A = this chain, B = another copy of it.
């Protein structure tokens, strides 16, 4: 059904490579999908991969290269000549070629481009390199199938046959006017069932045509494609000219990356790292957050220090010192996660602050009262100190309310000034709420307990 990579399988492949047993390798690979071969490459070293790559048919080799993960591809491209790279890039879709090229140093980029034999492909790829990789332009491919309004179905099919050679997946035919402006679309299904002499302009649909501008942010493109259930979306320039299309497989990666990014931020990891990234890369992605938390923690020590007289007067105060800020941290993360996710999937509008806040305060009151009651009762059971119980319960309720409000306002505020709201989740909000929580705890204890 679907291929599953095992350690034995990899050992077999490696042994065959070491013995140069072309026959075995070919017999193993013939049944595999390019994505499977890419998965194998990610588990063996670059020279072994290169040996296998050279055995594959040109087109298959290029597809494997496209499917490969960035790190593994980087290692492989390093031991390929610019001529070899150029040959591969000519086989694949322009967006993938531009992506791979974009990963290389400028010097090698130039060498590779100069080695490309097909000048049309080379200029398309160079053109794509100009777009910011976080925009629709950076995601689009140049390979599109377009038809003119004035064509007949017969002409259309003939032209398509010519164009379709370069277009791997045909979902929709875009219809353009004589100035190349996008005016509608035509489904392949409709074309298949139409009479040969029918005109495109009588068949095509111009209602509710959805397109994106080349400068549009990639997460906006993802939202459009998801909302309207599109498997491809046309990209237009400022004049409305059709310049490319974005297919759903590239957008799935965007959706995945965005979701992972928010999650990583919330967990105190910056940058796109993975389990198999290098130790230094992982360390670098995590250390800044730990240092922020550390300085927050040090600020906390100052708060505790400044309330030392209270602690010395009553040592029992010290035992709740970790509980209160920890609860503040947890509540803050919960509140901010709801905001960040609501903003990301468009279910929360920025002008919703008042609504959100009212609801958040109601939830905080509810959960805060439950938690405070539990603490009050257990404190009485353990220590029989009603005053301490009141102090801790009131402090806990206050802290939960404060953390909810901060956790809601800060990400919404960041979003309004165009800073990624996900920054406000994770270590940042926990640490801030730790410090404020400590301060509230001691302040209330002065009022109620000493």
Contacts and interface: CB of A to CB of B under 8 A. Distances in A.
Contacts of A367: 283, 286-287, 290
A267 B227 contact: no
A294 B263 CA distance: 24
A145 to B, nearest CB: 9
A261 to B, nearest CB: 10
A170 B192 CA distance: 11
A333 interface: yes
Q: What is the interface of chain A mostly: helix, strand, loop, or mixed?
A: helix
A423 B278 CA distance: 26
B229 A231 contact: no
A337 B229 contact: no
Nearest to A285: B334
A269 B338 contact: yes
Interface string A394-415: 0000000000000000000000
Contacts of A269: 334, 337-338
A289 interface: yes
Interface string A329-343: 111011011110110
Contacts of A366: 279-280, 283, 287
Interface stretch (A51-59, A73-81, A102-110, A157-165): A157-165
Question: Number of contact residues on A: which range applies?
Answer: 35 or more
A31 B327 contact: no
A192 B189 contact: no
A32 B260 CA distance: 32
A19 interface: no
Contact of A322 (B187, B322, B351): B322
A200 interface: no
A375 B255 contact: no
Given A210-B2, A256-B345, A264 B337 contact: yes
Interface in A308-362: 308, 311-312, 315, 318-327, 329-331, 333-334, 336-339, 341-342, 345, 347-348, 351-352, 356, 359, 362
Interface stretch (A112-120, A122-130, A430-438): A430-438
B327 A268 contact: no
Contact of A31 (B208, B293, B304, B374): B208
Contact of A259 (B207, B260, B324, B342): B260
A279 B365 CA distance: 11
Interface of A: 1-2, 7, 31-33, 35, 157, 160-161, 164, 169-171, 187-189, 191-193, 207-208, 210-213, 224, 226-229, 231, 248-249, 252, 255-256, 259-260, 262-264, 266-269, 273-276, 279-280, 282-283, 286-287, 289-291, 293-294, 296-298, 300-301, 304-305, 308, 311-312, 315, 318-327, 329-331, 333-334, 336-339, 341-342, 345, 347-348, 351-352, 356, 359, 362-363, 366-367, 370-371, 374-375, 378, 425-427, 430-431, 434, 438
Q: Which 7 A-B pairs have the closest CB atoms?
A: A259-B259, A297-B323, A275-B342, A267-B337, A229-B249, A275-B348, A301-B319
Given A255-B256, A256-B345, A283-B363, 11 more contacts: A1-B212, A169-B231, A170-B187, A188-B188, A231-B248, A248-B248, A259-B259, A263-B266, A267-B336, A294-B371, A301-B322
